[in-house]
Amino acid sequence: MKSGNKLIGVGILTAMAASLCCITPVLALIAGASGLGSTFSWLEPFRTYFIGLTILVLGFAWFQKLKPFKQKYCNCKTKKETKFIQTKTFLGIVTAFTIIMLTFPYYSSIFYLKTEKQIIVVDKSNIHKVEFTISGMACASCEEHVNHEVNKLTGIISSKTSYENGKAVVEFDNSKTNVSEIEKAINTTGYHVTKSKNKSL
């Protein structure tokens, strides 16, 4: 049974490691320390391996729990009570927790409040669109983190970020903010702008 408990522990750790890079930006936002958002982004390349290991470990734990147990005949009157940590219920709770952790990147955006902005453009010639190349983003949570920080600036019309492309396209009123201010906002997340270029509207 001790080996079963160790398997469950390994399953929890690998599930947490697989989603840590996506949970950190949300925790950083809640804590008001947005610069910590990219702390565990280095784990992203290993995410697939962590997920695979988690599935293998939990699968084996369930196999051990469900396989028929050959019990030797015993004319004993006392029955040893099973500890909760060794029950199917506990393994079920761990499995549910693991699924929640592994799927976190797909629902992390709910933690970022959508703010309605009133945009008043006096002169259309002031509208600029710039594409920023950003390093360190690992999942959809990173995208939301960048958009959240950029949208705090005055004069932002839209901000669309893609972690897959490693880019953010920001449309803004140049009379109210500028490329340098947007770069600073992105860099406060812990991800870094490596290049920026103008895009035609």
So what's the pLDDT on residue 38?
54
User: 47-68: string of b/e by CB count within 10 Å (b at 16+)?
Assistant: beebbebbeebbeebeeebeee
So what's the pLDDT on residue 65?
79
Structure tokens at 136: 């360190």
Half-sphere exposure of 124 toward its Cβ, with a 13 Å CA cutoff? 1
So what's the pLDDT on residue 177?
93
Mean pLDDT of 28-35: 53
So what's the pLDDT on residue 94?
83
So what's the pLDDT on residue 128?
92
What does residue 48 show for φ and ψ, rounded to 5 degrees? -60, -40
Residues in the chain: 201
- Tens digits of residue pLDDT in 93-140: 888 888 887 777 677 667 666 655 666 656 788 899 999 999 988 777
Look at the pTM and tell me if it is higher than 0.85: no
Q: Could you state, in order of their start, the residue ranges of all structural domains in the chain?
A: 2-110, 117-199
Mean pLDDT of 2-25: 64
pLDDT of 194 strictly over 90: yes
So what's the pLDDT on residue 193?
93
DSSP symbol at 191: -
Domain 117-199 bears CATH identifier 3.10.20.30: no
Structure tokens at 36: 């910590």
- Tens digits of residue pLDDT in 40-97: 565 666 777 777 888 888 888 888 878 776 655 555 555 567 777 778 888 888 888 8
Q: Are 156 and 168 in contact (CB under 8 A)?
A: no
Q: For residues 107 and 86, what is the distance between their CA atoms, to the nearest angstrom? A: 31
Angle of helix 179-187 versus helix 140-150 axis, rounded to 10: 130
So what's the pLDDT on residue 153?
92
Q: Are 141 and 22 in contact (CB under 8 A)?
A: yes
